[in-house]
Amino acid sequence: MISPLPQTPRLQIIKQHVRKLADYFPVIFFFAGFVWDAITIGRNVMPSDLAIFSGYLFSAAAILYLIGRPVDEAADASSKPQAKVISLLKMLHTPRLPYFLLQFLFGSLFSALFILYFKSSSHWLAWLTSLVLGVLLVANEFLESEYKRFTLSWAMFGLCAMLLFNFALPFMLGSIHAIWFYLSTLLGAALACWLYMKTPQHYGSIKPVGIIAALLMFAYTADMIPPVPLVKRDVAVAYDLNKVNGNYLLKQQASSWWVFWRKASNDLELLPGQRVYCFSSVFAPPGLQTKLYHRWQHYNKKSGWTTQSRAGFSISGGRYDGFRGYTYKSSLAEGDWRVSVETENEKTIAVYPFSVKHVEAAPDSIVQSF
């Protein structure tokens, strides 16, 4: 009988380093996946992206159905697919695998949805919603063993289904009417309930899914959820605006020399009666036609933010670099201003703050292309 060769100290050291590195694999994969999503998602959204996200969701549904079936019932009929899968898992000694896969799939969905909603958020209420998704994204890294509690699994699945449908249904229908948000929320909740009813033992509770659906619809009514699938690309204010060879050239206030991280300043110095333009670029999926509005507001210490005007322009979806539009206003009062980019039903896409100061001589300016 040939005994195995003794391991050299060098080989043992390498193995020890590999084991230590393996402990950090979840963290490495988490940040690598997040960075990849941040680079590839949110600038524009393609049907292929939604197909991938749908694949994640329905893979999670298949796993929940599998582990939610009674094992004895599956084992009695070896011809059933779930019985074969369960037998394979037992042979491989991987009882944790379904829960690890659920963690991975939910994490992938939360990563993509967090980036989409964060890039579409430009006011504090929408940021609050994005923050909740970010917390769930991080918390998911510690929930693998908790997914054995089916109530949590149903809640996470229902939330992912609702948020994905909130994005996908308007994308496919080419409309951002409020009815599609409410309908897509109900469809996501209905999918979770239907899957729950298909698992005979009804492990866990499905009630949290209904609570989540109600909270999402309340959040939408309160303008806490960006009007996806519209995604903000650029918003800027300028002294002058011209379109040359398909590009908009904006003449903007130059930043001070010490503000090296940006070329243009939001602190405008205006001559008497000078016009100010607000330019915005928004991604909209192919086939979507809607009208956007710029709400110009001035801050008054007594009455707060007061609307000075609300002007609109039409967009048609499908352009890779986003669809662009602008409005303008003359003779702005000194003080703090902001322009809200809104949909027809007054859902906020972006908020751009700036200040105005009156001067006698024209300030330094730069020209940027959008």
> pLDDT tens-digit profile of 85-101?
555 454 444 556 778 88
Backbone angle region of 331, left / alpha / beta, with phi > 0 → left and psi within -120 to 50 → alpha? left
Residue bearing the bigger pLDDT, 244 or 79: 244
Determine the Cα–Cα distance for residues 291 and 218; give it in Å rounded to an integer.
24
Query: 195-212 in b/e burial notation, b at 16+ Cβ within 10 A?
Result: bbeebeeebbebebbeeb
- 6 has a pLDDT exceeding 50: yes
- Per the CB < 8 A criterion, the answer to whether 355 and 336 are in contact is yes
Question: pTM of this prediction?
Answer: 0.72
CATH number 3.40.50.300 given to 231-369:
no
Strands (E), the chain: 231-238, 240-244, 247-253, 267-270, 275-283, 289-300, 304-316, 323-330, 335-342, 348-358, 365-369
pLDDT, tens digit, 9 for 90 and up, residues 101-131:
888 888 888 888 777 777 666 677 777 887 8
Among 7-21, 184-198, 199-213, 280-294, name the one with the lowest average pLDDT: 7-21
- Stretch 4-31: mean pLDDT: 58
- Per the CB < 8 A criterion, the answer to whether 174 and 317 are in contact is yes
Task: Tell me what pLDDT residue 93 has.
Answer: 44
SS3 assignment, position 214? helix
SS3 assignment, position 229? coil
Task: Tell me what pLDDT residue 218 has.
Answer: 93
* Domains of the chain, residue spans: 9-221, 231-369
